Structure 1
């Protein structure tokens, strides 16, 4: 599959490391030429997006075009991440499609996610290759 314009990296944010590993494999299975960055905390993800903390000298790293975000995580949860994300500069948020990816069956979580203008959609785990490709086809241009 060719490189996709504005999609150099996919960011997985989930405190469950085996889930991140499985989802990374799913993305690799699509054949997309993207880097997959799997982080186990929302606060670390904010550092990654803003090139701060342990990512301070990494502002040349590929920034994500898609973020798959879990809701229920210790420390900063997905909702708290989104509150902080909304405060980021436009350049730090540029061309990022945020997807809530969760096991939550709570209908209010789905409704809340769909009301948030920074969240594109709400998916239930596990991530599947067709979900990734649907997002890519909807939000990105395959032509460089």
Structure 2
């Protein structure tokens, strides 16, 4: 991985999961900033064009997105559909890693059809993050 990432975005409706994932990632010192969204719609507004977050403050484009599959309002699959519609070239701008505690094979396969960087079972661990970084930023 070439230096620190610009930003990591955690997308999960569970506040406790976001809190622990943020602590884990901060401890690994991987990114200049770590942002949190509680559903896919909020995540889309944070990603946007990289110029403003939901509060109108400057927001760096996320380099890596950890996306929960099952959320209210806009779930992970709906997020991927909207992202694909909004920006066909998103895969060149950042990596999306799907996080799930479920075993819905059809949903996971559908998510993979969007060519997410990886699909991981919760909880997020240091080893899983290192694996993602190795795969996403190889070569």
TM-score by length of 2: 0.84
Q: Say which of 81, 99, 117 aligns to 2:97.
A: 99
Match of 1:20 in 2: 18
Is 1:115 the counterpart of 2:110? The answer is no
Match of 1:77 in 2: 75
Match of 2:60 in 1: 62
- 1:47-89 superposed Cα distances (whole Å, 9 cap, x missing partner): 111156735452xx22111111111111111111111000223
Assess, with a 3 A threshold, how the Cα gap between structure 1 residues 91 and 115 changes in structure 2: closer, same or farther: closer
Q: What SS does the aligned partner of 1:81 have?
A: helix
Q: Structure 1 residues 46-55 or 122-131, which shifts more?
A: 46-55
Assess, with a 3 A threshold, how the Cα gap between structure 1 residues 139 and 87 changes in structure 2: closer, same or farther: same
- Separation in structure 2 between the aligned mates of residue 137 and residue 24 of structure 1, nearest angstrom: 19
Match of 1:3 in 2: 3
- Separation in structure 2 between the aligned mates of residue 49 and residue 125 of structure 1, nearest angstrom: 23
Contact (CA 8 Å) 1:47, 1:55: kept in 2 or not?
Answer: no
Contact (CA 8 Å) 2:8, 2:31: kept in 1 or not?
Answer: no
Q: Structure 1 residues 28-37 or 42-51, which shifts more?
A: 28-37
Contact (CA 8 Å) 2:100, 2:120: kept in 1 or not?
Answer: yes
- Separation in structure 2 between the aligned mates of residue 22 and residue 83 of structure 1, nearest angstrom: 27
CA drift at 1:26: 1.4
- Separation in structure 2 between the aligned mates of residue 22 and residue 80 of structure 1, nearest angstrom: 25
- Separation in structure 2 between the aligned mates of residue 53 and residue 25 of structure 1, nearest angstrom: 21
Residue correspondences, number: 137
Match of 2:46 in 1: 48
Assess, with a 3 A threshold, how the Cα gap between structure 1 residues 80 and 90 changes in structure 2: closer, same or farther: closer
RMSD: 2.5
Structure 1 residues without counterparts, runs of 5 or longer: none
